[in-house]
């Protein structure tokens, strides 16, 4: 009890998870504490934090999790029977090793403390994973916990520990090692042996090793069966020494830089169940020998420049196959016998191929839950739509499928039919009674970049589970229906580049989860006071919206993109924009536009929100880097008044466009505080005075300031006058009269001009030859001008 209370002293507990940790209660009844049923000794501590991924970014909300320091050495000293410690997914900031002990172990730092201080430790399971703000400078304490069998340090910063491999190999009982996303850089490529005598699972994914596979890996004699080296920047060919790991069941090499052909000897791993070679640089054909992997459940070779032919010979013996992902970035042909029936029943299939026809065996698959076919340009008969109608996830983007969707019924959780040639009306797809009698669990709907027509229908209240709606770049018309206000889970709504009209119903304010709202390039009108406060990216450009900018926009605390350009919006720029917290700081990594939802028992995180933004005079597409762009574009409206100085406190802003309005007054001096501003355009307004000084503002070109007749100063070349009477203190004295310097300066200019003119006249009138040449030039110039005018006035000649 004393040891546990000391542990609690270093922990901050915002949600009172440890409220039961009191001397009034037996410590074996404390939350997260496990004791031996016979001896009542503390044998385990399990305090993982349960979190969900925030809907508007890719990081988890851990405000309720435990934080502070972990006094690991204290636990090892005081709890001699502790076997299990799980602090997963909290927000601890430090791992402390300083401690005091009554047996001559006084305040020793862990790298130097004597082995006898913890030689009685029985700790076998240590899980500190997903404490992403925890950085551990060294692992020199690991060898002193020689009883460890399970070690999970996933997503902990170990970048300062360069000797990690040698220290981990000093754990003789270690069978499970997870060190993914630990910022490790040295894989000890030249080391021949690593003394892992019991290791079965090795996960090192998400590090930056940038080397070939190390020699010590091939000499593991412990019977390792699970090897994860994904996303490690590994290079080179796969060496056949990998065959030494005969017991492998899982081999994950996803997301590296391996090149050369896929080795045919991979077909010799008789126990292999999971093989992922996706997103590498493997070339050539898929070896037929992979068909010998009779235990294989998952085969993934996506996004490699593979060529050649895939036939039934490649898959003939894969009777246990459930997941097949074949996606070539080059020219890959599927050539299967039309009568071949596979020995497997797939649950997930992903394909990209070059030939125009689907393999006939596809229709024999009755268990497929997820079907993805990208950029393969195949024909889709009615038989195909009937086939996919029962699937949970259908992704068919970029296939140029030409067909009418009016008679197609899909009852899926995920529907992605983007970038095809589909026609027809949305109503049957969303309002048909057969659909409404189904589960109505549609989460993701993307039918953008097709030729759909008609209205948006008013059946949206039947699809309250929807998270994503992408219907942009079609021929949809009519109004945005009020029933969209029922979509309380909606995160992303794209209706851009259609023919929608009318005002937007206030019910849209009920979409409290909405993050991205894009209706650019339509014919929408009315005020814009219906905007949900949760929106991070608002794109209304190129419509007919009018009225004033509502003050509610200042309550959109997560806003990073505000694009209302090319409308008829009038009034002043709100002075309260400094309340938009996300734009007050250069915080872009924390504003990532991503979201998650559950489907098929999995969590799918989408980080590919795409917007076309106008900046620097260009239309640029932002996708993975969208969250790095913070933008306000109010150009081409009827805004009046001044640029509010409060707006200049948005120092996180990257792009500001206020051009083509009726703004007046001076440019606030505070605008120089916007240090992250990469693009500024305040041209074609009624601004006056001098452009504030500073390298940031003078770094923009004249295009940023042109069209303001009373604006001057660098980078403009126009001379600056201090007040409306053009009385510059350098030109005028304090009393309003010319200063003596400028008086003599202009007298000198005028005298020089007179003397030069008289000199030219003297040469012309007193030199006969030059005089004749001069007047000949004038007559010739007159004749050319006459001919030009006649031709312009009489083009028929």
Q: What is the pLDDT of residues 424-478, one digit of tens each?
A: 888 877 776 555 445 578 899 999 999 999 999 888 988 888 999 999 999 999 9
State the Cα–Cα distance between residues 355 and 336, nearest whole angstrom: 11
Q: Report CA torsion sign: 615, 619, 620, 621.
A: positive
Looking at mean pLDDT, say which of 54-58, 138-142, 230-234, 608-612 comes out highest. 230-234
Q: Residue 435: enclosing H or E segment and its boundaries? A: helix 433-436
pLDDT in the model for residue 583: 87
Looking at mean pLDDT, say which of 278-287, 617-626, 735-744 comes out highest. 278-287
pLDDT in the model for residue 189: 85
- Please tell me the total number of residues recorded for the chain in this structure: 797
Give the residue with greater pLDDT, 696 vs 306.
306
pLDDT in tens, 475-501: 999 999 999 999 999 999 999 999 999
pLDDT in the model for residue 767: 54
Q: Is 80 exceeded by the pLDDT of residue 772?
A: no
Q: Say if residues 295 and 319 touch (Cβ distance below 8 Å).
A: no
Q: Say if residues 685 and 708 touch (Cβ distance below 8 Å).
A: yes
Q: Which of 449, 486, 500 is nearest to 471 (CA)?
A: 449
Q: What average pLDDT does this structure show over 156-177?
A: 94
pLDDT in the model for residue 282: 96
Q: Say if residues 260 and 238 touch (Cβ distance below 8 Å).
A: yes
Q: Taking CA 547 as the corner, what is the angle to CA 544 and CA 550, rounded to the nearest 5 degrees?
A: 115
pLDDT in the model for residue 428: 77
Q: Is 80 exceeded by the pLDDT of residue 526?
A: yes
Q: Is 90 exceeded by the pLDDT of residue 754?
A: no
Q: What average pLDDT does this structure show over 76-99?
A: 87
Assigned token pair, 492: 């992303």
Q: Is 50 exceeded by the pLDDT of residue 100?
A: no
CB under 8 Å to 247, separation ≥6 — which residues? 223, 224, 225, 271
State the Cα–Cα distance between residues 693 and 672, nearest whole angstrom: 8
Q: Say if residues 631 and 561 touch (Cβ distance below 8 Å).
A: yes
Q: Is 60 exceeded by the pLDDT of residue 354?
A: yes
Q: Is 70 exceeded by the pLDDT of residue 531?
A: yes
Residue 241: asked if its preceding bond is cis (omega within 30°), the reply is: no
- pLDDT over 90 for what percent of the chain? 57
pLDDT in the model for residue 183: 95
Please report which confidence band the pLDDT of residue 776 belongs to, taking 50, 70 and 90 as the band edges. Answer: low
Q: Is 70 exceeded by the pLDDT of residue 6?
A: yes
Assigned token pair, 23: 């001397």
Q: In angstroms, what CA-CA distances link 758 with 475, 544, 751, 766?
A: 72, 62, 11, 12
Please report which confidence band the pLDDT of residue 609 belongs to, taking 50, 70 and 90 as the band edges. Answer: confident
Q: What average pLDDT does this structure show over 286-315?
A: 94
Assigned token pair, 357: 């026809």
Please report which confidence band the pLDDT of residue 718 belongs to, taking 50, 70 and 90 as the band edges. Answer: low
User: Which of 245-259, 284-298, 568-582, 777-791 is least confident?
Assistant: 777-791
User: Which of 166-175, 311-320, 439-448, 514-523 is least confident?
Assistant: 439-448
pLDDT in the model for residue 740: 43
Q: What average pLDDT does this structure show over 19-28?
A: 93
Neighbours of 381 (CB within 10 A): 10
pLDDT in the model for residue 743: 41
pLDDT in the model for residue 114: 44
Q: What average pLDDT does this structure show over 50-75?
A: 75
Kindly report the average pLDDT of the chain as a whole number: 84
Q: Is 70 exceeded by the pLDDT of residue 729?
A: no
pLDDT in the model for residue 608: 65
User: Which of 340-344, 489-493, 545-549, 757-761 is least confident?
Assistant: 757-761
pLDDT in the model for residue 450: 95
pLDDT in tens, 213-230: 999 999 887 789 999 999
Q: Is 90 exceeded by the pLDDT of residue 46?
A: yes
pLDDT in the model for residue 732: 35
pLDDT in the model for residue 774: 52
pLDDT in the model for residue 98: 57
pLDDT in the model for residue 119: 46
Assigned token pair, 5: 């209370």
Assigned token pair, 513: 């989860």
Q: Report CA torsion sign: 162, 163, 168, 169.
A: positive
Question: Which three-class secondary structure string do you get for 81-133?
Answer: CCCEEECCCCEEEEEECCCEECCCEECCCCCCCCHHHCCCCCCCEEECCCCCC
pLDDT in tens, 242-268: 999 999 999 999 999 999 999 999 999
Q: Report CA torsion sign: 93, 162, 174, 180.
A: positive
If you write DSSP's letter for every residue of 552-609 in order, what string do you get? Answer: GGGG-TT--EEE--SSEEEEPPPTTGGG-GGGTS--GGG----EEEEETTEEEEE---
User: Which of 98-107, 303-312, 390-399, 626-635 is least confident?
Assistant: 98-107
Q: Which of 393, 442, 490 is nearest to 56 (CA)?
A: 490
pLDDT in the model for residue 735: 36
Phi-psi category of residue 425: left, alpha or beta, with phi > 0 → left and psi -120 to 50 → alpha: beta
State the Cα–Cα distance between residues 426 and 210, nearest whole angstrom: 49
pLDDT in the model for residue 116: 46
Q: What average pLDDT does this structure show over 48-66?
A: 71
pLDDT in the model for residue 254: 97
Give the residue with greater pLDDT, 120 vs 420.
420
């Amino acid at each position: 009890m004393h040891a546990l209370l000391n542990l609690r002293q270093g922990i901050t507990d915002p949600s009172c998870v440890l409220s039961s940790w009191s001397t009034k209660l037996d410590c074996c009844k404390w939350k997260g504490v496990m004791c031996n049923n016979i001896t009542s000794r503390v044998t385990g501590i399990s305090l993982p934090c349960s979190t969900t991924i925030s809907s508007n970014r890719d990081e988890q909300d851990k405000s309720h999790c435990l934080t502070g320091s972990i006094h690991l050495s204290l636990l090892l000293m005081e709890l001699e029977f502790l076997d299990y410690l799980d602090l997963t997914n909290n927000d601890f900031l430090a791992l402390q090793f300083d401690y005091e002990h009554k047996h001559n172990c006084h305040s020793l730092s862990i790298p130097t403390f004597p082995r006898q201080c913890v030689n009685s430790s029985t700790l076998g399971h240590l899980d500190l994973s997903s404490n992403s703000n925890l950085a551990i400078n060294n692992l020199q304490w690991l060898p002193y916990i020689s009883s460890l069998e399970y070690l999970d340090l996933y997503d902990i910063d170990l970048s300062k520990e360069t000797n990690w491999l040698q220290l981990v190999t000093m754990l003789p009982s270690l069978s499970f090692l997870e060190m993914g996303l630990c910022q490790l850089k040295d894989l000890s490529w030249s080391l021949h042996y690593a003394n892992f005598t019991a290791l079965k699972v090795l996960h090192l994914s998400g590090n930056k090793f940038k080397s070939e596979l190390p020699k010590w890996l091939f000499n593991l004699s412990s019977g390792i069966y699970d090897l994860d080296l994904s996303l490690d920047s590994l290079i080179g060919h796969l060496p056949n020494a990998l065959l030494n790991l005969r017991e492998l069941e899982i081999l994950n090499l996803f997301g590296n830089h391996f090149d050369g052909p896929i080795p045919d000897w991979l077909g010799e791993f008789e126990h292999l169940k999971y093989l992922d070679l996706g997103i590498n640089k493997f070339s050539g054909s898929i070896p037929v020998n992979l068909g010998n992997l009779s235990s294989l459940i998952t085969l993934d070779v996506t996004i490699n420049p593979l060529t050649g032919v895939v036939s039934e010979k490649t898959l003939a013996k894969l009777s246990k196959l459930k997941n097949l992902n074949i996606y070539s970035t080059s020219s890959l042909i599927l050539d299967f016998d039309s009568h071949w029936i596979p020995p497997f029943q797939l649950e997930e299939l992903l394909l990209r191929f070059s030939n125009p026809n689907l393999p006939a065996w596809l229709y024999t698959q009755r268990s497929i839950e997820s079907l993805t076919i990208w950029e393969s340009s195949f024909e889709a008969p009615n038989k195909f739509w009937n086939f996919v109608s029962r699937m949970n996830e259908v992704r068919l983007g970029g296939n140029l499928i030409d067909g009418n969707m009016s008679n197609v019924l899909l009852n899926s959780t995920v529907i992605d039919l983007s970038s095809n040639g589909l026609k027809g009306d949305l109503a049957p797809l969303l309002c048909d009674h057969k659909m409404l009698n189904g589960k109505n669990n549609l989460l993701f709907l993307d039918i953008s970049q097709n030729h759909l027509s008609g209205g948006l229908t008013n059946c949206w209240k039947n699809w309250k589970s929807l998270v994503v709606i992408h219907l942009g770049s079609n021929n949809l018309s009519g109004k945005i229906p009020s029933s969209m206000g029922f979509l309380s889970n909606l995160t992303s709504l794209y209706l851009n580049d259609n023919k929608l009209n009318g005002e937007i119903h206030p019910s849209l304010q009920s979409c409290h989860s909405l993050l991205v709202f894009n209706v650019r390039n339509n014919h929408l009108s009315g005020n814009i006071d219906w905007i949900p406060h949760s929106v991070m990216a608002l794109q209304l450009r190129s419509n007919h919206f009018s009225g004033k900018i509502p003050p509610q926009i200042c309550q959109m605390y997560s806003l990073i993109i505000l694009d209302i350009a090319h409308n008829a919006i009038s009034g002043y720029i709100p002075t309260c924009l400094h309340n938009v917290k996300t734009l007050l700081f250069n915080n872009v990594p924390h504003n990532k536009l991503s979201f998650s939802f559950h489907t098929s028992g999995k969590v799918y995180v989408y980080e590919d929100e795409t917007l076309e933004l106008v900046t620097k005079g260009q239309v640029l597409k932002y996708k993975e880097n969208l969250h790095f762009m913070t933008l306000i574009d109010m150009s081409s409206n009827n805004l009046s008044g001044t640029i509010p100085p409060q707006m200049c406190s948005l120092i996180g802003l990257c792009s500001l466009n206020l051009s083509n309005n009726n703004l007046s007054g001076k440019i606030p001096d505070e605008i120089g505080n916007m240090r992250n501003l990469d693009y500024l355009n305040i041209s074609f307004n009624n601004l006056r005075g001098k452009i504030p000084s500073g390298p940031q503002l003078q770094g923009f070109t004249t295009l940023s300031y042109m069209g303001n007749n009373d604006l001057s100063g660098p980078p403009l070349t126009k001379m600056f006058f201090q007040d409306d009477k053009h009385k510059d203190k350098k030109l005028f004295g304090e009393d309003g009269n010319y200063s003596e310097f400028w008086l003599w300066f202009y007298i000198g200019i005028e005298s020089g001009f007179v003397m030069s003119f008289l000199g030219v006249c003297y040469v012309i009138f007193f030199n006969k030859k030059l005089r004749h040449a001069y007047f000949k030039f004038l007559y010739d110039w007159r004749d050319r001008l006459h001919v030009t005018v006649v031709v312009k006035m009489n083009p028929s000649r």
